[in-house]
Amino acid sequence: MKRRVVITGMGAVTPLGNNVAEFWQGLLAGQSGVTKVTRIDVSDIPTQIAGEVKDFNPTLYMDKKEVRRMDRFTQFAVAGVKMALEDAALDMSKVAPERVGVVLGSGIGGMETLEEQMEVRRVKGANRVSPFFIPMMISNMAAGQIAIIFGATGPNLTVVTACASATNAIGEAFKIIAQGVADVMITGGTEAPITPMAFAGFCSMKAMSRRNEYPQQASRPFDQKRDGFIMGEGSGILVLESLESAKKRKASIYAEVLGYGATADAYHITSPAPGGVGAAKAMQAALNDAGIKPEKVDYINAHGTSTDLNDKYETMAIKDVFQEHAWKLAVSSTKSMTGHLLGAAGGIEAIATALAISHDVVPPTINYDYQDPECDLDYVPSQARRMTVHYALSNSLGFGGHNATILLGKFQE
């Protein structure tokens, strides 16, 4: 018998706001957080728009000394964790530290620090490179800093599976609790990829939209006129807890984590497998893990990147798994409003999925103006929808063929 696992706290730093309430309100209002890039010079880059985090002040969550020793992606994570622990009303001094762990996802880690310190070496020489360069840059440091700051001595892992990182992290954290290894897991994802090299690299792949004059209309998942994804940044953090632990604390519960599926396409370094076969297997695995029949699912928070093949193949994968029920599902991509947070995407999307279940309202897909004959499901266009959500999936699909799906459900005694 695996232990039941519930979500008791959430924290977020996003292009729509620097807390869960602002993020959720922005989603329900159909707002876009995509704007002209301000943090870096993109004058020589074809794409000049992104989902930037606005007005983020790290000193609200940590002291100035800590800020100077953290890359932006770690700052986002620590801020999200502080919010999530407060939301969960979890006093770390009152729990056994060895029973609290961290599994965090990040696709590329400290890119900003890497690029800055490379320039320091080029201009000033090797002896001027910061002694904090390595511990600020490495992808595991967000998870490491969280454990240090909050005193979590249980399992501590970092998942790097490109855009599937955060969903894989949540799934692995779920399994750790379900198997009895820990009682509480801090999980989700964080990313700060808006840097000159990361931007230039994705542009060289022709993966990003070039609708620079219309930033808020640029991310348009499943729309026939989609022309690429929009890069975003931020963090989405969840506190997962065994049901026994949550009930003992009389904690509020957003939703229950019921299933997890993870597969590999084993096909191509960037392109998803034809027909979305890997994504379909991940969704089916999550359903099997939970023992839930496909027709019980009400909503899917899709990966929905606004790229040609991803949106088409994810649609095909949903049809493959759900058959006739596919057209009865509500499917939406919140990336239409946030852009794509890469390794953190699954974190904020798991939060959106949990809130959809908790509040019985599904966020929309904005900018869905021109129907693609190959993307013909119910994508909840333009406006949020009031509907009962008993069970919901959240999908994340990453470069390298990584596919991850989590299944959440309404908490029932």
Say yes or no: 185 and 303 in one domain: no
3-state secondary structure of 332: strand
**Average pLDDT rounded to a whole number, residues 127-149:** 97
Q: Residue 201 has what pLDDT?
A: 96
Name residue 332's beta-bridge partners. 301
Q: Pick the last residue of a domain from 185, 219, 249.
A: 249
Q: For the chain, what is the domain count?
A: 2
Interval 292-319: pLDDT, tens: 999 999 999 999 999 999 999 999 999 9
Please check whether residue 406 is in contact with residue 257, taking contact to mean a CB–CB distance below 8 angstroms. yes
Say yes or no: 242 and 269 in one domain: no
Q: Which residue has the tokens 């021109």?
A: 370
| Whole-number Å distance between alpha carbons of 405 and 317 | 12
Q: Which residue has the tokens 């399994």?
A: 175
Say yes or no: 291 and 188 in one domain: no
Q: For 371, which DSSP code?
A: B
Interval 375-410: pLDDT, tens: 999 999 999 999 999 999 999 999 999 999 999 999
Q: Which residue has the tokens 């967000």?
A: 142
The residue among 171, 146, 5 whose CA lies nearest residue 77 is: 146
Please check whether residue 162 is in contact with residue 402, taking contact to mean a CB–CB distance below 8 angstroms. yes
Interval 326-357: pLDDT, tens: 999 999 999 999 999 999 999 999 999 999 99
Q: Do the domain assignments include residue 37?
A: yes
Q: Pick the last residue of a domain from 249, 269, 291.
A: 249
pLDDT at residue 266 is higher than 80? yes
What percentage of the chain exceeds 70 in pLDDT?
A: 100
Q: Residue 1 has what pLDDT?
A: 67
Strand segments, DSSP code E, in 140-274 are 156-159, 184-191, 234-242, 255-264
Q: Do the domain assignments include residue 106?
A: yes
Token pair in block for residue 374: 């190959």
Q: Residue 360 has what pLDDT?
A: 98
Q: Do the domain assignments include residue 337?
A: yes
Say yes or no: 332 and 387 in one domain: yes
Please check whether residue 254 is in contact with residue 357, taking contact to mean a CB–CB distance below 8 angstroms. yes
The residue among 94, 407, 102 whose CA lies nearest residue 257 is: 407
Say yes or no: 192 and 309 in one domain: no
Q: Do the domain assignments include residue 84?
A: yes
Supply the residues annotated as catalytic: 163, 303, 340
Residue 13's domain spans which residues?
Answer: 5-249
Please name the helix (run of DSSP H) or strand (run of DSSP E) that holds residue 10, with its range, or none.
strand 5-13
Say yes or no: 229 and 266 in one domain: no
Token pair in block for residue 178: 């379900």
CATH number at residue 174: 3.40.47.10
Q: Do the domain assignments include residue 255?
A: no
| Whole-number Å distance between alpha carbons of 158 and 238 | 15
The neighbour count for residue 211, using CB atoms within 10 Å, is 22
Q: Do the domain assignments include residue 254?
A: no
Please check whether residue 352 is in contact with residue 396, taking contact to mean a CB–CB distance below 8 angstroms. no
361 φ, ψ (degrees, to nearest 5):
-150, 135
Say yes or no: 321 and 382 in one domain: yes
| Whole-number Å distance between alpha carbons of 280 and 319 | 9
Q: Do the domain assignments include residue 279?
A: yes
The C-alpha angle 73, 79, 85, rounded to 5 degrees, equals 130
Say yes or no: 269 and 405 in one domain: yes
Q: Pick the last residue of a domain from 249, 276, 303.
A: 249
Q: Do the domain assignments include residue 372?
A: yes
Strand segments, DSSP code E, in 267-357 are 299-301, 330-332
Say yes or no: 163 and 289 in one domain: no
User: Distances in Å between the alpha carbon of 313 and those of 14, 51, 137, 202?
Assistant: 27, 24, 34, 21
Q: How confident is the model at residue 413 (pLDDT cuts 50, 70, 90)?
A: confident
Burial class (CB in 10 A: 0-12, 13-18, 19+), 83: buried
The overall average pLDDT reported for the chain is 97
CA-based end-to-end distance of the chain: 16
Q: Which pairing describes strands 5-13 and 234-242: parallel, antiparallel, or unpaired?
A: antiparallel
Say yes or no: 147 and 265 in one domain: no
Q: How confident is the model at residue 148 (pLDDT cuts 50, 70, 90)?
A: very high
**Average pLDDT rounded to a whole number, residues 349-373:** 98
Say yes or no: 96 and 212 in one domain: yes
